[in-house]
């Protein structure tokens, strides 16, 4: 079972267990972290915005055009921004680190 570390907006790091193929948004929300995910993963908002630790960013599957378009509207976007609903956990991502972005 892969493990990930998500830092909330207060700077507190949370160790979360996830199953392969679960997306980061649902894992974080299931753990009670403050991630909105208003569209519930249908890729029509950006309220599951995460900032991926740079050491992990290149290990992710590249974002598609729809995800990039949504991120373009975010004021808090960074070079390692991704949407949590679009990142599926795999064994290769065991130990992934990310931070929940400040809401826009």
Taking only the tens of pLDDT, the chain with its 104 residues reads 789 999 998 999 999 999 989 999 999 999 999 998 999 999 999 999 999 999 999 999 999 999 999 999 899 999 999 999 999 999 999 999 999 998 87
Task: Please tell me the distance from the alpha carbon of residue 35 to that of residue 102, in angstroms, as a whole number.
Answer: 10
Determine the pLDDT at residue 104.
78
Determine the pLDDT at residue 103.
83
Determine the pLDDT at residue 27.
96
Task: Please tell me the distance from the alpha carbon of residue 52 to that of residue 64, in angstroms, as a whole number.
Answer: 16
Overall number of domains in the chain: 1
The CATH number for 10's domain is 3.10.20.30
Q: Which domain holds residue 69?
A: 3-100
Determine the pLDDT at residue 25.
96
């Amino acid at each position: 079972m892969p493990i990930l570390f998500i830092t909330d907006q207060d700077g507190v790091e949370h160790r979360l267990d996830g199953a392969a193929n679960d997306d980061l948004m649902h894992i974080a929300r299931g753990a009670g972290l403050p991630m909105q995910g208003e569209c519930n993963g249908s890729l029509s908002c950006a309220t599951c915005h995460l900032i991926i630790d740079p050491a992990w960013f290149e290990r992710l599957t590249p974002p598609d055009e729809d995800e990039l378009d949504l991120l373009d509207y975010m004021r808090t976007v960074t070079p390692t921004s991704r949407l949590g609903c679009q990142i599926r956990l795999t064994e290769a991502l065991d130990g992934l680190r990310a931070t929940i972005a400040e809401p826009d």
